[in-house]
Amino acid sequence: MTITSSVQQRSKLPDVGTTIFTVIGQLSAQHKAINLSQGAPNFPCDPALVAGVSRAMQQGHNQYAPMTGVTALKQILAEKVETLYGQKYDVASEVLITASASEGLYSAIAGLVHPGDEVIFFEPAFDSYAPIVRLQGATPIGLKLQVPDFAINWDEVSAAITSRTRMIIINTPHNPSSQVLSREDLDRLAALTRNTDIVVLSDEVYEHILFDGRKHNGMATHPELAQRSVIVSSFGKTFHVTGWRVGYLLAPAELMEEVVKVHQFMMFSADTPMQVAFADYLQQPENYLGLGAFYQQKRDLMASLLKDSPFTLLPSAGSFFMLASYADFSDETDSEMVQRLIVDYGVATIPLSAFYTDGTDNKLIRLSFAKDEATLQAGARALCQVKPR
């Protein structure tokens, strides 16, 4: 028996349905498709990390952690950031452990953005940015990155800034385009925000996954931007444990104070045994410094396997992803192409239009190479069989 509610609903997000990732996941499960869609590894994490969590549980670390995070973890994070990027963050007031990077994004936007504000972000974009902004009674202003290099047009950013602009959301390395910001990009952003009250929210969850010798140009590498930035990162992406849902924020104390006010009522604290294990695991820098080389091998394998496919691959500078164009052999929409790949060829990808609020279709699909070798080989074999329509 189905229960029907008599309550009249007023949706805060009336145009938002189930995310594309869920839709593709359901269709993929139905057709038992090879998963090149989800940005989550399908291989195990380091057994030492699992052992660390188990050890923490056995040692009794099973109750609430301090609200802003386990001190040992915050301390080692602050040391890591200072060593790698040169920026010093106060452990007590400028480092926050969150229950996933997603919770960190929500806490930062909810704590710092007010009704009537405007928030600039860049499309294609991770799909949670705009809905979170709207839930605060603010207006998301989506600016489209230039295809095919997905560069930011800083003149457009300058023209979009108004007296109501409260925040600019940056993502580097970028999901889904896999491009990265340059030092010149940071300098332009600093110049545009200088002498304003604009906050930069910088999504840097792929900070250790850069290729071909590139350096991470995050906000902590730029002293001027660090003073106005909230940086979001993720242990799940770094250590192949996306299901553990632990992330962190870095920000000046004046900004972090407002973010913490939201965090304490959303989660209070992230999972304790995971935090204890991460604090121990981060003692060895090699556990994250080799990540770029590890994923570059997977990127290069995927590219070599697809060299004879009908798809044209775009360069991938960082992250788990690469984009593939099918414009040379099909006029299908990207959603139609993705559905055909699942149903007819048994391989799941993501349409790039899902990352635009207006559904912009550039005839591009996103592939994830955060998979084991057998999955990459099977997925590539399927994609090499795709016929024009």
- Over the stretch 141-161, which tens digit does the pLDDT of each residue have? 999 999 999 999 999 999 999
Which pair of structure tokens corresponds to residue 302? 């995927």
pLDDT at 15: 81
**Residue type (1 letter), 90:** D
Decide if pLDDT at 353 tops 70: yes
Average pLDDT over residues 206-228: 97
246 within 8 A of 272, measured Cβ to Cβ: no
DSSP strands (E only) in 279-339: 312-313, 321-325
Which part of the chain is CATH 3.90.1150.10? 20-45+290-384
Decide if pLDDT at 285 tops 70: yes
Decide if pLDDT at 274 tops 70: yes
Class of domain 47-287: alpha beta
Average pLDDT over residues 271-289: 96
Per-residue pLDDT reduced to its tens digit, 52-103: 999 999 999 999 999 999 999 999 999 999 999 999 999 999 999 999 999 9
pLDDT at 21: 75
* 12-21, 165-174, 189-198, 302-311: least confident range: 12-21
Decide if pLDDT at 344 tops 90: yes
Average pLDDT over residues 282-306: 96
Class of domain 20-45+290-384: alpha beta
pLDDT at 1: 66
Average pLDDT over residues 324-332: 96
Decide if pLDDT at 2 tops 80: no
**Tokens 């029907």 map to which residue?**
4
Which part of the chain is CATH 3.40.640.10? 47-287
User: pTM of the predicted model, to two decimals?
Assistant: 0.94
pLDDT at 40: 86
**Tokens 């499960």 map to which residue?**
29
Q: What percent of the chain has pLDDT over 90?
A: 90
- Secondary element (H or E) of residue 350: strand 350-351
Q: In the 8-state DSSP scheme, what is residue 198?
A: P
Average pLDDT over residues 120-142: 96
pLDDT at 389: 82
Give me the phi and psi of 138, to 5 degrees please: -105, 175
CA atoms of 52 and 49, how far apart (whole Å) = 5
Give me the phi and psi of 136, to 5 degrees please: -90, 5
Compare 140 and 10 and report the one with higher pLDDT.
Answer: 140
